[in-house]
Amino acid sequence: MGAAFVIGAIGFGFGLTTSPLLLLFLDPQTVVIVINAVAILAFSLVLVEAREHLRNRELAPMAVAAVLGTPIGVFALSTLDASVLRIAIGVLVLVLTAMVVFNAEWKVPYPRISGPVLGFISSASTTGLAIGGPILVLFFLGRRMDRQGVRASMAFFFTIMYIAAAIGYAIQGLFTTERLILIATSAPAVAIGYWIAVRLTGRMNERIFRPTVVVVIFISSMIVIVRELISLLN
């Protein structure tokens, strides 16, 4: 519900918000698969709401690149060591969060080339680690998109990518009964969280909200990294 609220409010941060906390209770594979599955619902809702702000010509090559990058992420998810994966997710969360915090406006060089490349990288990292949105957020900000444009573009890209990822997970046999139950029970909370965000977004003070989200992400990521490092040392 909290992650869906973040998606509804600012258009990204589903994996960043949920993965550090869920890694305290669930194994990395389950965290990534559940997050990416329920994210289909969250981003589909955003896409329906903000579809008028889409730049289809610019997004189409990036979507194709996202589909091509999906198998790499699925392969990494099914083969990497659990502790290594937890630490990798935690470190990547911290790096990408720092990128979001310090996202000064900049102009994207060669967007027709860099867009698909970043789409490929974002797809692989999101499919394998449930994290990758901030990379694209920085790209879209560099394209001088407004808030609604960023939300619509992120929703278009990730809806296609998450559907491709779900197909890959199914082919690899990663949808266990436990994971399907978690997905089914999380979906209603996602819908409620998004509905709340839509109702409150117009009155929300984003200057306060975004730093709060960053602080929560930072603390939970550090907990995961420290815990796993202590476990490896012992």
pLDDT of residue 210: 61
pLDDT of residue 139: 77
pLDDT of residue 124: 85
pTM > 0.85: yes or no: no
Contact 11, 159 (CB under 8 A): no
Which residues in the chain land under pLDDT 50?
A: none
pLDDT of residue 204: 58
Contact 21, 86 (CB under 8 A): no
Tokens of 86: 């937890």
What is the CB-side half-sphere exposure of residue 159 using CA atoms within 13 A? 19
Residue bearing tokens 């709401």:
49
Give, for 109, the enclosing helix (H) or strand (E). Answer: none
pLDDT of residue 209: 60
What is the CB-side half-sphere exposure of residue 8 using CA atoms within 13 A? 23
Find the Cα–Cα–Cα–Cα dihedral 232, 221, 20, 157, rounded to 10°.
-120
